[in-house]
Chains A and B, each alone.
Chain A
Amino acid sequence: MINPVLLIAIPLLFAFLSVMFKKADKGLLTIAIFFNLIGAFLLKETEVIIGGWKPPFGINLVADQYSIFGLIVLNIVFALTVFASFSSVKKYSTVLLVSLASLNGLLLTGDLFNLFVFLEIASISGYILSTMTKKYKGTFNYIVLGALGSNLYLLGLIILYATVGTLNMADMATKVPMINNNVLLLALTFIFAGFAVEAKLIPFNGWVKNVYGNVNDLSGGIFSSAYSTAFILVFGRIFTEVFQLSETLKVVFLTISVLTFIFAEAAAFEQKNIRKILAYSSVAQAGLAATLLLFGFKEIAMMQILNNSLAKVVMFTIAGGIYLATGTDNLDKLNGLFKKQFLLGLGFTISAMSLIGLPIFYGFYVKILSLTSIMKSGNYIVPILILLAALIEGVYYIRMLVKLWNPKDGEVTGLKVEKCIKYALLGVIVGAFIIYISINPQFVTEGMINYLSKIAGGM
């Protein structure tokens, strides 16, 4: 049993220490990541009060099955990304420590204002991480939209606090039915808009193209896996557990998330650069997860998030690594790259297959489950739209893979990718895990339930 607050406090403490001891910063980063990784597995279902003030007056941290699952996924992908691209850390170890602390905090906190604080920390460290490739225009876009988004969230929260006078999530959930419908509509619209910026939903995702499209190996994995996992899970927590949406609002939000899915897939189809394709694909996957969460299928959404973050951590890291090594990520210039770097291609291909949801891969299982569950709830339009978008997704991913595997006759790429052993290693390890859970999908679903119910019992 470990106190969940340590998952936030230890990385933060190490972040402060790393400013003092500049030379030890990478060591501190490593220790903190290992601590969090082990800590996430040692968590038990519990609720922790901070400062000794009982909620709703003080702040509490909630470690339930939902957040523990999120923490395990988050800390694993964070560790994988950082260790696979350790050479890119350079001066950024303090920022990484702060972002680790804040992402853990996002998933753990049980207080709406505390959530805002962690949202701010996470997004500011995100802005800094996005400057790694020195494409400042995208970062500026991100800063403007991100600041607007968190302010809108705060504005919505202020309206709610002024009306019912509480900030605690559980307390808020009991008081929401007392609020006037119009006021609730306004507040929820603001909160949704605020979160949609970070959760990458249309029309608030203008920053994604430039930020995700210009990542290097390190920031790619962090953004596409760690950040998106944390933000989409928090989105789910807010809109399924704290607020019960009225029918009209639910339809509006669902429309937005489904549109996100379709438009992003269509936009990805147009792109020629690997990272841009992956960026739009990330938007699409976030839209799918948001759709599932809004329908109320939390478990399936969690599986979808796991599938996405495992696949994306490999693909984005490799894409970023290729960009660092060759200076380009244009598909036409990288023809036949995987022929030379077989291991690199193997991990990438498995991840892509799982992400598309080809049969026998884990993604297939997730997609079928989500389609049948939505159909069972009586909605037939959304599954058709999802299928249509998935078809587009399949086409552009397979087109990409074909280009990467097939050299044009007689033409040698001339691009050398030599420092790619670690990316290949990451790809093979995660790929093996994806294949394992593809053959044995119960490992995640039942294993998770067993594991969580086991840890729920003993305190």
Chain B
Amino acid sequence: MKRLIAILLVGVLGFFIFTNLYSEGNGKVFPKFGEVKISERVSDKFVKKNVNGNVTTVEYKVTKDAESGSANMVTSIVVNYRSFDTLGEVTVLFVSALGVGLLLSGKSRMKFKTPPNFILKAAVRVVAGIILITGVYIFIHGHLTPGGGFPGGSMIASAILLFYISDDEFKTKVKAFKFLEGTAGSLYLIFGLLGLTMGGYFLYNFIPTGVVGELLSAGIVPIVYIFVGLKVGSELSNLISDFLSEEGK
């Protein structure tokens, strides 16, 4: 009976959503896929990089000091135009990891029932280094190519996970990771506060932004992305180690 009511409720809700979302009438309706007028929304100016009124077109490796200076559009929105949100998202991850740590943290490491075999151990030695380097590459080049702090950080954590799976004895130094996590987070905020003192705005991009497309460009964007990458990497690694720690010990 309960299930029947649940199915019925979902059906009614679906009908409610569908009829209202795709109704015709006065005023702006929900746009169909691909029929959005980009020029009417705020993202238009993010894409063209003319929030502050510059109207020149942005050319790769030529244009200097185009607003945020990052070649990757998503990065310039995430870490520059709406950097405050990213700071918030970093905090979301931070506090979630903290909660897991408070609830699950144990002293000793959980042992697997079947010990990892030799092939796994040898393969991880080879693969983990590549994964680590790729992760670091992804967050250092976050302002040039797709990627950034969050995916880069998760890659680093996946390498740590491989270490955990392949070695019964492996245990990260949680203290060091906590230190890294705290440092990266505080440095993000300190850079924000530096922007406040130097430019008058919190999280202001106060470093010269350079030529679009070069590694040393985009001002504080790559620096912040490195902090985010380190922070996410160490947080997720901590999360793995918390989940693999034995309860009550």
Chain A residues with CB under 8 Å of chain B are 3, 5, 9, 12-13, 15-21, 48-54, 56-59, 91-92, 94-95, 98, 101-102, 105, 113-114, 117-118, 120-121, 124-125, 127-128, 131, 159, 161-168, 177-183, 185-186
Contacts and interface: CB of A to CB of B under 8 A. Distances in A.
A412 to B, nearest CB: 39
Interface of B: 16-17, 19-21, 23, 25-31, 36, 40-43, 45-46, 51-52, 80-85, 87-89, 91-92, 94-96, 98-99, 102-103, 178-179, 181-183, 185-186, 189-190, 192-193, 195-196, 199-205
B99 A59 contact: no
Given A101-B91, A117-B92, A162-B36, 15 more contacts: A13-B193, A16-B185, A18-B182, A19-B181, A51-B203, A53-B81, A91-B102, A98-B91, A113-B85, A124-B99, A128-B95, A128-B98, A162-B30, A163-B31, A183-B23
Contact of B204 (A51, A161, A168): A51
A186 B21 contact: yes
A9 B51 contact: no
A13 B192 CA distance: 10
Given A9-B193, A51-B203, A186 B16 contact: yes
Contacts of A12: 87, 91, 189
A166 B99 contact: no
Given A51-B84, A162-B31, A166-B41, A20 B202 contact: no
Chain B binding surface SS class: helix
Contacts of B195: 51
Contact of A51 (B30, B41, B205): B205
Contact of B205 (A20, A52, A94, A114): A52
A260 B181 CA distance: 43
Chain A binding surface SS class: helix
Nearest to B105: A91
A164 B27 CA distance: 10
Contact of B28 (A20, A50, A127, A178): A178
A68 B149 CA distance: 35
29 contacts: A5-B202, A15-B185, A16-B182, A17-B186, A51-B80, A51-B84, A51-B195, A51-B201, A51-B205, A52-B199, A52-B200, A52-B205, A58-B81, A58-B82, A59-B82, A95-B95, A113-B82, A117-B92, A118-B88, A120-B88, A121-B91, A131-B102, A163-B30, A164-B28, A181-B26, A182-B21, A182-B29, A183-B20, A183-B21
Nearest to A57: B51
A241 B189 CA distance: 31
A49 B201 contact: yes
Contact of A120 (B19, B92, B181): B92
Contact of A16 (B31, B43, B99, B189): B189
